Amino acid sequence: MRPAAALAVLIFALASPAGAIDATVTAAPVSRFKGAGLDEPVHKLIFRGGLTLQSRDDTFGGLSSVTVTGPDQRIAFVSDRGQFVSGRLAYDEHDRLFGFIGVTIEPVQNSSGAPLPRQYARDAEGMDTIWRDGVAAAVRVSFENLTRVADFTITDGRPGGPAREVAIPQWLSDLRTNESLESVCIAPPASPIAGSTLLITEDALDDDGNHRGWLLGVNDRGPIGYVNSPIVNPTDCAFLPNGDLLVLERGVALFSFVMNLRRVPAAEVRPGNLMHGELLLSAEGIEVDNMESLMVHQTPAGETRILMGSDNNFNDWQRNLLLEFALPQ
């Protein structure tokens, strides 16, 4: 629900890389969700608050996926118009999210180091971070329409530079729709498939009507499935530190958006398996928007949080909505 509180303008003063622009983002708090107040339970999660984000810069929006890109709450979104939107999540002394600051918007580049030339090639939908020796080294991004996966170097918390394409199966490359490769996530050290990349399609179904997926890994490589649910399709995924998988689902019913969040046990995420997720959270109508982003991260106080965000499709009637939750202890 749109909060009535006054917008707090958060202006940053960070140097920007070449080709990037600076954006001033305003944030308004979201303090209730499905009748619950801050720190109250909602289904199987604890609501920790949220924000709606706005900017006068017309390149801000369309936020399709989000990932951690460095220390001090540095994150980046990728947009479906081919932009990296980098900045920091700001928390107050009570560990409450209150802003998105230090925002830089930079075009996603092709392998030659030039901005992607056509919208058909810019439709980025999924993103996760590649960690090396505990340092965020690169992001791995999935694209629809011109379906592919590519890596981009992280510098000072900002992804960018020339694309380095990642080999994917031909059946995935042949999907030339805006409902193809929606989700990408990389398994953490605690996972049985640590270091492997999980790809889940939005609406590419197998013979049994379930979502097709693929695991990219040295030892864990091959097909994997995700159970199809009525109305909703998977739009993003993220691993918990213990290796369990979270899948964000989004759909439309009676002219309003629907959102589900499901948890898949770590042991189910393996080649050849059909993954079933336990429902952690479900919402629809004014409580949510076009939910497409999912990230697991730690706050300054050290709590593990689940952050979900919406893609406003650059429409005035939709929101850039962020919602934060914690798992019960």
Q: Mean pLDDT across the stretch 293-305?
A: 98
Instruction: Using pLDDT thresholds of 50, 70 and 90, give the confidence band for residue 219.
Output: confident
- β-bridge mates for residue 88, sequence order: 74, 101
Q: What pLDDT is attached to residue 289?
A: 97
Q: Mean pLDDT across the stretch 51-80?
A: 97
82 three-state secondary structure: coil
Among the residue ranges 59-63, 157-161, 253-257, the one predicted with the least confidence is 253-257
Residue 2 has pLDDT above 60, yes or no: no
- Better pLDDT: 20 or 237: 237
Residue 301 has pLDDT above 60, yes or no: yes
Residue 95 has pLDDT above 70, yes or no: yes
Return all residues near 97 (Cβ < 8 A) that are at least 6 apart: 48, 49, 50, 51, 89, 90, 91, 299, 322, 324
Q: Mean pLDDT across the stretch 224-245?
A: 97
Which phi and psi angles does 172 have, rounded to 5°?
A: -75, -45
Give residue 222's Cα distance to chain centre.
23
For residue 10, give the nearest of 53, 61, 44, 47 by alpha carbon: 53
For residue 126, give the nearest of 238, 284, 227, 7 by alpha carbon: 238
Residue 5 has pLDDT above 60, yes or no: no
Q: What percent of the chain has pLDDT over 70?
A: 95
Q: What percent of the chain has pLDDT over 90?
A: 91
For residue 261, give the nearest of 303, 221, 291 by alpha carbon: 291
Residue 174 has pLDDT above 90, yes or no: yes
Q: What pLDDT is attached to residue 285?
A: 95
Residue 203 has pLDDT above 60, yes or no: yes
Q: Mean pLDDT across the stretch 61-81?
A: 97
- Better pLDDT: 2 or 22: 22
Instruction: Using pLDDT thresholds of 50, 70 and 90, give the confidence band for residue 237.
Output: very high
Instruction: Using pLDDT thresholds of 50, 70 and 90, give the confidence band for residue 4.
Output: very low
Q: What pLDDT is attached to residue 19?
A: 78
In our burial notation (b when 16+ CB lie closer than 10 A, e otherwise), range 219-242 reads ebeeebbbbbbeebbbbbbbbbee
Return all residues near 87 (Cβ < 8 A) that are at least 6 apart: 12, 25, 74, 75, 76, 100, 101, 102, 103, 104
Angle at 53 between CA 5 and CA 8, to 5 degrees: 45
Give residue 191's Cα distance to chain centre.
20
Instruction: Using pLDDT thresholds of 50, 70 and 90, give the confidence band for residue 18.
Output: low
According to CATH, what is the number of the domain 8-326? 2.115.10
CA distance 39 to 74: 24
* Domain assignments of the chain as residue spans, ordered by start: 8-326
Q: Mean pLDDT across the stretch 91-117?
A: 97
Residue 8 has pLDDT above 80, yes or no: no
Q: Which residue has the tokens 């928390």?
A: 91
Count how many Cα atoms sit within 13 Å of the Cα of residue 135 in the half-sphere of its side chain: 9
CA distance 172 to 223: 11
For residue 87, give the nearest of 3, 21, 164, 153 by alpha carbon: 21
Instruction: Using pLDDT thresholds of 50, 70 and 90, give the confidence band for residue 124.
Output: very high
CA distance 323 to 182: 20
